[in-house]
Structures are given as C-alpha cells and as structure tokens.
Amino acid sequence: MNTRLSTRLSNWFGYASPATFYPLAGKMIPWFWALAAVFGILGLYISFFVAPTDAQQGEGYRIIFIHVPASWMSMFIYLVMAFWAALGLGFNTRLSGMMATSLAPTGALMAFLSLWTGALWGKPMWGTWWVWDARLTSELILFFLYIGFIALQSAIDDPRRADKAGAVLALVGVVNIPIIYFSVKWWNTLHQGASVSLTRSPSMAQTMLLGMLLMALAFWMYAIAVSLTRVRAIILERERHAGWVEELSEVQS
Amino acid sequence: MSAPAGQRPAGSTLGVPQEGAANSTERAQSANTRHPLPREGGRGDGGLANEPSLLAALSAVIRRDLLLAMRRKSDVLTTLFFFIIVVSLFPLGIGPEMAMLRQIAPGVLWVAALLATMLSLNRLFAADHADGTLEQMALSAVPLGVLVTGKVIAHWLLSGLPLALLAPVLGLQFDLASGSLAVLVVSLLIGTPVLSLIGAVGAALTLGVRGGGVLVSLLVLPLYVPVLIFGAGAVEADLTGLGATAHLSLLAAFLALAAFFGPWATTVALRIALE
Amino acid sequence: MNWGSASEFFAMGGHAFYVWGSFGACALLMLVEPILAKKRRSQALIELKREIRANQDSQDETTS
C-alpha cells in the first residue's frame, strides 16, 4: 500500500521519486558549486578589502562575515530539515526523509562553525573564549538538537522508521527552538550577561550587511550542493535493490 | 469501574516476591483488568456515554501503572535516592559556605530533578512494549492518546510529585528560607509535568532502539532547557526579592503547550515504534 | 583598500590567530565535508557493482 501511495504521490510532486531526482540532482550540483564559488569570492572580497577597519574592534571583527552567516544557516537548515521531515511524515514520500537525513550533518557543521567562530571572536573582544551570551547559548542548544537527530537516526536500523522517528524529533525541535531562544534571552538579560553590540557608522553597516548577505548566499549554495551530493549517496544506499539503479550509467560502467 | 478494580490481584505487596515470573503474571493480569474497559465505549449508548468512558479508561491506565509501580517500589525509590544523593554531593564538591550554597540551590535542585526524571523515563513504555501490552493499547477502541496521557500522568505521580514533595527537605540543606522553599515546590509542581510530557516523546522515539537509555538523554535534555531556566529562575527571583509570579506563569504556559502537543507527538512516535 | 602590504593583510592588525583561525576552520571543514559526501557515494557505487556482479555470477552458474 505504501509503494502504491508513494507512486501516486510521485506523479503529483513530479520529482519526488528517487529515480527521477537522482539524475536531476547530479545535473544541479555543479551549478550550485559554481554559485557558491561566485558568491564566496565576492563576499570574501568585500569582507577583507571593501569593509573598513572597525573603530573599536580593529580587524578582529571580520570574523562576523562567517560567524553570522553560519548562525543564520544553522537555523535555516533546521527549518528546512523539519519541513522535509514533516512532508515525509505527512505524505509518506521516501525522498523527503532522505533529504532531511542528508541535511542534518551540514546543519550541525554550520552550528559548530558558528560556535567555533564565536569563541574565536569572543577571545579578543571580551577576553574569554566563551560567554553565556543569549545567541551563543541557543546556538549551542541547536547544535545539541542536531546531534540528537543524527544520533537517533543512526541508532535505528530500519531506514523508514529512522525517517519517521527523526521527523517527529525534528518537528518537536522546531516547536521548541523559539521557546528555547526566548527563554535563553530572558535568562541572559536577567543575569546581565554580555551582549553583542557592534557600534559603527551607518555607511559601514551597509557594506557589512552586503558582505554578510553575500557570504550567507555562498553558505546557502554550499549547503544545497553538499546535501544534494549526500542525498545521492543515500539514494544509492537505500534503493540498492530497485531496478532503475542497476540501469544507471555509473553502475553499468 | 469498581468491578475491574475488584478483579485485580489483591495480595498484599509485602507477601509478593519480587521475581520476574511472578511479576510478569501480575503484569498480564492487571493488563487484563484494563482490557474490558475499552469495550465500555462501544457498549455505551451514543455520543453521550463516550466522554465518561474515556475518563474511565484514563483513570484505569493511571491506576494500573500505579499498581504495577507499587509492586516494584525499588524503581521509584531509586530515582528518589538518586535525586537526594546528587543534591547532597554539591556541597561536598563546592564547599559548605552557606551564602554560596543558597545562591546555587535553585539550579542544583532543578538540574538534579531534571536528571532524576530522565533516569525514570525508560520505564515509561519499555515494560509494556516488552510484554505486548502496548500493542494491545494501540489496537484498543480507546484513542491511544488518552492511554498515553494516563501513562504520563502516572509517571509524573511516581517521579515528579515525590521530587517536588522531597525538594523542601533538600532545600533546607542549602539554607533556603521558607518562602523560597514554597516557590521551589510550586515551580517543581508546575515544571515536572512538562518534563514527563516531553520525556514521553523521547521515550517513545527510542523504544526498542539500541542504546536507548543514553540516547533519550541526548534527545530530551536540550528540550528541557526552558523549563530549567524558568523553574530555577522562579526560585532565584524569589531569593533576590523580585517575585516569582512571572516565571511561574510562564512555566504554566509551557505546561499548557506541552499538555496539548506532548501526548499527540508521543502517540505518533509510539505508532512509528510499533509498526 | 585597507592593506598596505601582504604581510599587513596576514597580520590582521594583531588578530591574525583569531581571524585566520575562524576562516581557516571554515575553509577546512567546507573542504572535508564535500569530500566525505563524495566518498560515501563512490563507496555506495562500489558496493552496488559488487552486488550486481555477484548476482550475475550466480545466475551464470545456474544457467550453465
């Protein structure tokens, strides 16, 4: 019944079946790599050569050009992951679960990068590697949520059950993330912890915003490219016994 | 309602040997006492009789779980002693300076309560899963969500409620004033049901999964953060004279949210685990 | 242009360790992750081919 339902749905969603998506993803990957490179080069140029030295923080503030995009992407990827997971849970499509599984490591990487760069930024700015700043703390909890998702999925052998259990966890997490964020923020203001404030002239804020946006786009394109690469591997692993896999040119050669 | 209660094995708990075989027959028997109940829904005439029978099923599940726990008191007591020991370790690790202890008391008590609740999560569904009762529940006429709610309430009565009642005694170790002790109890009374509700989702997700015990802590602890912040925050706000009302009302809001979404998510997770 | 010379650029106004530590870690991880993902796919392909060959061999044996 499941397979009949999923084939019917694959007609609705067009590319929702792994067999059509696998070659399509293969064609898309190089384009996303190219976009990531273009945005990355432009963003790096702005962050190192156009954006002027900060009056208060010197050159150390340039870390913001990867710290902020990594934080944005870590949150955004969790949302996308939960979206695919919900789709998989609701419509029983195989591909959505694979997409969620494939996005999780990239999201965890972004969360880790955000924490790493946050620590390296905090040391020269605040004098410590770690401050219990609201944003850093919620980023840490988001990292834990990613680790929990990955650990749960890898502990379950049956991929279908792993997909669904992961989906429930991702959805519970998505409901919780705003609550966690606001409670951490409340906690932080009550304890008068450090808060990140960058004071600078308005013209500088513009170039900074442009640099961060370009870097965020580069990270976004990178995340798409790498998760598509991974989802292709997952498709091959799971659809091993499907007829279409054996007819692929890379399998034949 | 009184008939199934009468069928329950009425042997005094003192005389019952704590052995696996004896225990499993008891489990089976008390599972049977629950079994006739779902049919009451079908027997009832029309929609009017439906609601009382759901409540009956709910209370039957709660009573069954409490009865089973009474047969195995050690499980409940272990969790409680874990709580006591963890809380008592902190002064030994930090030093007996009362001013410092007063300051860390809310956090220590709440973190210990969190860990104790988490330790008890495994027994929420594991035994019922092992002997097939859970599958019967999933197939019964009563919605699984109602039965899950009953199990969560029983879990709270056995883990959260004793913790909350024990907390003031431990608070005395930390030299908390009586006003703060009252706030501590109230915050635990509101907060621990949230812990049970969220924990149930984690317990259902890791049901029958290898390494489930450690895994459940990985899944559930990050989600406990808001409860910890506002639970410990309530006591701390009282200590600093700010008043704990805001914290407690936010905790109550979490409880409402968790009570709404928790059983539903747990039901979905259980159905996935039982597939 | 903010930098008078290359050495000034690499010194980052005294924050070289922090700035290059962040950008370096970022570059390294973003290099390693795609390599691992590609490796996973090629590994899956190798196993697939082995499986198919094994199937063909067993079919050949039964027919001959």
Q: Find which of C7, C26, C38 to mutate to test the A interface (most A CBs within 10 Å of its CB).
A: C26
Question: For the segment C6-57, what is each residue's pLDDT rounded down to a tens digit?
Answer: 777 777 777 778 888 889 999 999 999 999 999 998 898 888 888 888 877 7
Q: Is A109 on the interface with C (CB under 8 A)?
A: yes
Q: Please enumerate, as own/partner, the contacts of A128-137 that have beta carbons within 8 Å and a separation of 24 or more.
A: A131/A193, A131/A194, A132/A188, A132/A191, A132/A193, A132/A194, A133/A188, A133/A193, A133/A194, A133/A195, A133/A196, A134/A181, A134/A184, A134/A185, A134/A187, A134/A188, A134/A189, A134/A193, A134/A195, A135/A71, A135/A196, A137/A184, A137/A188
Q: Amino acid identity of A220?
A: W
Which residues in chain B are closer than 8 Å to A159, comparing Cβ atoms?
Answer: none
pLDDT 10s digits, B51-73: 568 888 888 888 888 888 888 88
Residue B195 reports pLDDT greater than 90: yes
Residue of chain C with shortest Cα separation from A70: C26
Whether the CB of C5 is below 8 Å from some CB of chain A: the reply is: no
Higher pLDDT, A144 or A182: A144
pLDDT level of residue B273 (50, 70, 90 thresholds) = confident
Do A134 and A188 touch, CB atoms closer than 8 A? yes
Strand, helix or coil at A58? strand
The two tokens of residue B257 are 């949210």
Q: pLDDT-based confidence at A181, cuts 50/70/90?
A: confident
Interface test with A, best of B229, B248, B254, B257 (most A CBs within 10 A): B229
Band (pLDDT 50/70/90 cuts) for residue A8 is low
A168 touches B at CB < 8 Å: yes
State whether residue C25 sits within 8 Å of chain A by CB. Answer: yes
Position B52 scores a pLDDT of 61
Q: What is the mean pLDDT of residues B266-271?
A: 90
Tell me the average pLDDT across A101-116.
Answer: 93
Residue A123 is assigned to a structural domain of this protein: yes
Chain C residues touching A117 at Cβ < 8 A: 22, 25-26
- Name the band, by pLDDT with cuts 50, 70 and 90, for residue A37: very high
Least confident of A236-250, B71-85, B199-213: A236-250
pLDDT at B19: 39
pLDDT at A36: 93
Mean model confidence pLDDT for chain A: 82
- Looking at A86-95, B12-21, B60-69, which range is the least confident one? B12-21
If interface means Cβ-Cβ distance under 8 Å, which residues of chain B face chain A?
A: 198, 201, 205-206, 209-212, 215, 218-219, 221-223, 225-226, 229-230, 233, 237, 250, 254, 257, 261, 265, 268-269, 272-273, 275
Lowest mean pLDDT among A22-36, A160-174, A204-218, C35-49: A204-218
B34 versus B260: the higher-pLDDT residue is B260
B229:A184 CB<8 A: yes
Please tell me the distance from the alpha carbon of residue A166 to that of residue A161, in angstroms, as a whole number: 8
Q: Suggest the residue from A59, A110, A128 to mutate for an interface test with chain C (most C CBs closer than 10 A).
A: A59
Predicted confidence at residue A3, as pLDDT, reads 58
Residue C31, in any domain of the structure: yes
Query: B28 pLDDT exceeds 70?
Result: no
Question: How far is Cα B50 from Cα B52, in angstroms, rounded to an integer?
Answer: 6
Band (pLDDT 50/70/90 cuts) for residue B43 is very low
- Bridge partners, residue A54, by sequence: A58
A235 Cβ partners below 8 Å, 6+ apart? A18, A21, A22, A95, A98
User: Exposed/middle/buried for C20, CB within 10 Å: 0-12, 13-18, 19+?
Assistant: middle
- Residues of A within 8 A of B256 (CB-CB) are none
The amino acid sitting at A217 is L
Instruction: pLDDT band for A146, please (50, 70, 90 cuts).
Output: very high
- Residue A67 in tokens: 């710290």
Nearest to B133 by CA among B144, B121, B149, B117: B144
Q: Where are the beta strands (DSSP E) in B35-189?
A: none
To test the contact with chain A by mutation, choose from B201, B264, B272 the residue with the greatest count of A C-beta atoms within 10 A, namely B272
Q: Which domain does A155 fall in, by range?
A: 29-51+62-191+199-241
Instruction: Give the pLDDT confidence score for residue B224 in this predicted structure.
Output: 92
Q: Across the interface, do A183 and B229 touch by the CB < 8 Å criterion?
A: yes
Q: Is C14 on the interface with A (CB under 8 A)?
A: yes
Q: Does the beta carbon of A181 lie under 8 angstroms from any beta carbon of chain C? A: no
Task: Say which residue, B25 or A147, is predicted with more confidence.
Answer: A147
Q: Are A49 and C38 inside 8 Å of each other by CB?
A: no
> Which two tokens mark B255?
């409880």
Helices (H), chain A: 2-13, 18-45, 64-91, 94-126, 134-155, 159-190, 202-238, 243-246, 249-252
Q: How confident is the model at residue C52, as a pLDDT?
A: 81
How does residue A199 score in pLDDT terms, banded at 50, 70 and 90? Answer: very low
CA distance C23 to chain A (A): 7
The pLDDT value recorded for residue B4 is 41
The pLDDT, as a whole number, for residue A12 is: 52
A53 and C45: CB-CB below 8 Å? no
CB contact under 8 A, B205 and A173: no
Helix, strand, coil percent values for chain B (each to nearest 5):
85, 0, 15
Q: Do A151 and B218 touch (CB under 8 A)?
A: yes
At residue B219, does pLDDT exceed 50? yes
Residues of chain A found within 8 Å of residue C34, distances taken between Cβ atoms? 225-226, 229
Give which of B201, B219, B251 to mutate to test A binding, by max A Cβ within 10 Å.
B219
- Residue C17 belongs to a domain: no
Q: Which long-range contacts (CB under 8 A, 24 or more apart) does B151-154 make?
A: B151/B61, B151/B62, B151/B65, B151/B124, B151/B125, B151/B200, B152/B124, B152/B193, B152/B196, B152/B197, B152/B200, B152/B262, B152/B263, B152/B266, B153/B58, B153/B62, B154/B61, B154/B62, B154/B64, B154/B65, B154/B66, B154/B69
Identify the pLDDT of residue B8: 37
Under 8 Å between Cβ of B233 and A185? no
pLDDT the model gives residue B130: 81
Which residue in A156, A164, A175 is closest to B261 by CB distance?
A175
CB–CB contacts below 8 A, A to B: 77
- At residue A7, the pLDDT reads 55
Instruction: Please report which confidence band the pLDDT of residue B46 belongs to, taking 50, 70 and 90 as the band edges.
Output: very low
For residue A7, what are its two tokens?
Answer: 């084939």
- With 60 as the cut, is the pLDDT of residue B33 above it? no
Answer for the pair B168, B174: CB distance below 8 angstroms, yes or no: no
Structure token digits, residue B235: 């006591």
Does some domain include residue C9? no
pLDDT score for A1: 47
Share of chain B above pLDDT 70, in %: 81
Assigned domain for A233 exists = yes
Query: Is A70 at the interface with chain C, CB within 8 A?
Result: yes
pLDDT value for A42: 92
CA dihedral B228, B230, B234, B235 (to 10 degrees): 10
Task: Name the residue in chain A with its Cα closest to that of C51.
Answer: A240
**Residue C63: per-residue pLDDT:** 64
- Tokens at A176, concatenated: 């919780």
Q: Please give the average per-residue pLDDT across B198-208, as a whole number.
A: 90
Identify the residue whose tokens are 């949210």. B257
The answer to whether the CB atoms of C1 and A229 lie below 8 A apart is no
Closest CB to C21 among A109, A120, A232: A120
- pLDDT above 60 for A217: yes
Using alpha carbons, list the distances in angstroms from residue B2 to A78, B7, B34, B44, B59.
Answer: 50, 9, 12, 17, 12
- Among residues B139, B23, C18, which one has the least CA distance to residue A66? C18
What domain count does chain C have?
1
- Total domains in chain A come to 1
Decide if C26 and A112 are in contact by the 8 Å CB cutoff: no
Both tokens of residue A78? 């969790």
The per-residue pLDDT for C21 is: 87
List the structure tokens of B5.
């209660």
Query: C40 and A123: CB-CB below 8 Å?
Result: no
- Has residue C41 been placed in a domain? yes
In a domain, A253, yes or no: no
Q: Is residue A2 one of the residues assigned to a domain?
A: no
Predicted local confidence at residue A133, as pLDDT: 76
| Most confident residue range from A49-53, B120-124, B228-232 | B228-232
pLDDT for B56: 83
Say how far apart CA A151 and CA A105 lie, in whole Å: 11
Residue B235 predicted with pLDDT over 70:
yes
- Residue B21 pLDDT more than 50? no
**Residues in A touching B269 (Cβ below 8 Å):** 165, 168
Nearest residue of A to residue B230, measured between CA atoms: A183
> Could you tell me the CA-to-CA distances from A167 to A136, A177, A199, A233 in Å, in that order?
26, 15, 41, 20
On whether residue C50 sits in a domain, the answer given is: yes
pLDDT exceeds 70 at position A223: yes
Query: Mean pLDDT, to the nearest integer, of A12-41?
Result: 83
Rounded (10°) CA dihedral B232, B234, B236, B240: 170
Q: Lowest mean pLDDT: which of A70-79, B62-71, B182-191, B252-261?
A: B62-71
